[in-house]
Amino acid sequence: MADDDLPELDDVGLKRLVGYDDTAEYELDLCGLDLAHATESVKRMVERSRFRASRSVIVRLDPAGPDTGETLFQPIGRLLLDLRRKSLLAKLSPLPHFAGSGFYLVTQGKKPDA
């Protein structure tokens, strides 16, 4: 099959294909922050979410570039993965390349009273 025979996907079709939903309830923009401030911002967001209903959040990071050096993607990703393993996040996935650098997550939220 030649490349000319492949159908073109618009942004909506591509989002459906990869399972990406960019309609998060909140956005945490960490662009321009250093690692210490970005880490603290994530920790505060997750701590506050323990007392609220579950929420979807897009975490935005500065994208990598030819002269940017290391980005926050890996250290923040490790932090978020650790929080997911501790069951503080219900869902975690990296943003697809067309959506920018960052993560889509859903907080665990407040546990219902037993």
Q: Which of 7-11, 12-16, 68-72 has the lowest mean pLDDT?
A: 12-16
Tell whether the model's pLDDT for residue 97 goes beyond 70.
yes
How many CB atoms sit inside 10 A of residue 42's CB? Answer: 21
**φ, ψ (nearest 5 deg) of residue 63:** -75, 155
Predicted TM-score of the model (pTM): 0.76
Tell whether the model's pLDDT for residue 104 goes beyond 80.
yes
Tell me: the pLDDT tens digits for 34-87? 999 999 999 999 999 988 899 999 999 998 877 777 789 999 999 999 999 999
The CATH number of the domain covering residues in 22-107 = 3.30.110
